[in-house]
Amino acid sequence: MTTRPFPLWIGLALAIPLARMPAAGQTLPASQPVAVDLGAKGTLSPHGYVDGSFGFALPYPDGADIAREKRFVSSSELEIVRFVNLQHSWSLAVRLDTQDRPTDPADMLADITARLTREFPGLQVLRSEKAAFGPREGARFACTFKDNDDWLQQEALIRKSTREYYRVVLITPLADGPIATQTFDRIVDGFKILRSELEQKRIDDALQTGIAFRKSLAADPARLRALGNQDVFLRYMENGKELGFRRTYQTPGERNGQPGILIQEWAWLFRDDNSITQLQQAMFISNDLSEAEWDNRTRVFMPSDKGNPASFFGIEMGILKEGMLLVHYTPTFNAPELKEKSLAAEPSFGPPAWFAILPQILDLKKPELYAFSAYDSDRRGFILRTYEVSGQTRVSVDGKLLSATRIRDCEGLLPPFNEIDVDATGKLIRAKAGPVELLATTQQYVEKTWKSRVDEAIKTLAQYRVTLPAPPAKKESTPTPEPAEPQ
């Protein structure tokens, strides 16, 4: 990637080229091991789970690990989230079943019974009946089956639309039947569909607005060609304390002969535990929006008074071409091999560079709600991202009151909401997400405040090599891409 020269201390001397901030929902490793409370059987987490993309919330078993990586259980059934407590051998999943025609609860129950009977001969149906969940119709189902051990499976089918049902599925050892039945009743009672029909229509309209906007940009590549260079420095704040900085540099460029916009980001964070976090990202999007790339890398170094320091490294790389998205990623920090995922891009899809340039190409004078699908590193699939130009505001930065346009960014119009404040050209002045805040500053301030810490960090990291993960294991045939996921 070719750009103008950077000072050595912030650019060329970086140990790892190119990366990004951790995705929403991801956390960096703690400096000390934390004891995990696995929870007692039947105890529900005090936090609950909210899914902004699909618009539901529910309680889940305390101590469960949460896996948000979406996967198709069958051609019609998408697993949205799974909660697993390995100690208790309990698994709770929420799935979205989408039929090709309007269907009723009786049909759904018949389908479930037939499929499970084929999979588990000797299956015993304990419950199969229509049920109401507030104003929504649905069904309750329960069965026992043998798969090495004896298991109890309970399901609630809750209508989302004429062709869609949420399926809430709890699988537990049969011996846990009494407590599992009581717990599942509480989970089902706590399941809430968070969007009304009116709110869902607002999102559907916003998706159409987003798609139309992307089409207008794709048909007029000159609009992206007109974007000039940007060089933005931001102070990184957390709970009011300054931890480091981020630099974002944008310039016209090309990839594989395609002209477009190149964006590089660097960030250094220095926490009170003396850890060092290095975040880097490189992004590209073509002027006609047909191609895009990104390369995100995160390195965390934690010193130790006893023994060896801890070092963590993660990477994610994505390529969008001919309507297909191919992502290579480390499933965990320090994974020895990259994993691969292939997805059919939706008409509303925006790669990371799209969201980076969006404030520069929207009509900031016109309040409007847009919705796009975005790849989520935690979910390993698409989320629904809403982007609302909400109007003019005044922002205080280092004692100066600046005029700005506020943009609200969130998942599916549900909290938490991120605030993005930009000037008249779309240049970032301030961004806030929970306790994290980015504030515009100058290169002079960054060099004066952080140069010595970065120089020291570079020397420290140079003593500990990063082992890059191997490419994904070769397969005998090309993987079949997953179909586009329902919003």
438-476 pLDDT, tens digit per residue, is 999 999 999 999 999 999 999 999 998 888 999 998 654
pLDDT at 84: 96
Which of 217-221, 340-344, 475-479 is predicted least confidently?
Answer: 475-479
pLDDT given at position 353: 97
pTM above 0.85, yes or no: no
Q: Is the pLDDT confidence value at 3 over 50?
A: no
What average pLDDT does the chain have?
A: 88
pLDDT at 196: 84
pLDDT in tens, 23-35: 333 333 333 333 3
Give me the pLDDT at residue 39, please: 64
What pLDDT shows up at residue 129? Answer: 97
The mean per-residue pLDDT over the stretch 158-162 comes to 92
Q: Are 24 and 374 in contact, with CB atoms under 8 Å apart?
A: no
What is the predicted pLDDT for the residue at 18? Answer: 26
Q: How much is the pLDDT for 69?
A: 83
Q: What is the pLDDT of residue 475?
A: 58
Contact, 281 vs 254, CB < 8 A? no
**pLDDT (tens digit, 9 = 90+) per residue, 200-250?**
899 999 999 999 999 999 999 999 999 989 999 999 999 989 999 999 999
Give the residue, 13 or 333, on which the prediction is more confident: 333
Sorted by sequence, the CB contacts under 8 Å of residue 115 that are 6+ apart come out as none
Give pLDDT, residue 484. 45
